[in-house]
Amino acid sequence: MQKREDIHDYFKKLARSDFITADKKDVYIDEDVPVSIGHGQTISQPTLVLDMTLELQLQAENNVLEVGTGSGYQTAMLAPFCKAVYTVERIESLHDQAQKNLEKQGFTNIYLKRGDGTEGWQEHQPYDRIMVTASVREVPDKLLNQLAPGGRMIIPVGTPFMQELQRIEKDKDGKITTSVMYHVAFVRLRGEFE
């Protein structure tokens, strides 16, 4: 498993402000609070992004699916610690901007797609890890199906205002175990299979 210290060190170096265009940069960009990325969407506070990354328990050989690319900041937290990140974003301009942001950082193991992430990304499944950064009422079946045996998913589940941040594990026989990290308030995942 990837070392927590390495993830911490990298987190300290990664500037969230690199993922937000000049017109959207606000005075809180360097603070540990959520910030707007436009279109009513937000990046969570950096310590939550870090915590969710640590909770995935990434391994170097993992294929990771991320739902809700947004600015690409969370994607950039995942990429150095796994084999590949496949990330899906619904809003075209956020997808385009994230692609630019991530290209600038020089990553070569990130694959972006514009589309409905409630469907997952069928072509590259199964995924060892799935990170969902928008909230759902119920975990989409398609995401559960695309999780590999031995895999782990982090996803906020609940009402539009308050959710449980769930850690979902699938064992080698496909049995699902769910535990709750704590409560959070994420923007909503909007899609066909929400």
Q: Minimum CB separation from ligand SAH for residue 173, in Å?
A: 29
- Catalytic hit among 44, 71, 93, 179: 44
44 noted as active-site residue: yes
Instruction: Please check whether residue 170 is in contact with residue 148, taking contact to mean a CB–CB distance below 8 angstroms.
Output: yes
Torsion of CA 177, 179, 184, 190, to 10 degrees: 10
Q: Between 26 and 171, whose beta carbon lies closer to ligand SAH?
A: 26
Torsion of CA 54, 55, 57, 61, to 10 degrees: -80
Helix (H) or strand (E) holding 149: strand 147-158
Instruction: Please check whether residue 33 is in contact with residue 43, taking contact to mean a CB–CB distance below 8 angstroms.
Output: no
Exactly one of 2, 85, 117, 167 binds ligand SAH (CB under 6 A); which one?
117
Q: Between 175 and 193, whose beta carbon lies closer to ligand SAH?
A: 193
Using CB under 6 A, count the residues that bind ligand SAH: 24
Say whether residue 133 binds ligand SAH (CB under 6 A): yes
Say whether residue 37 binds ligand SAH (CB under 6 A): yes
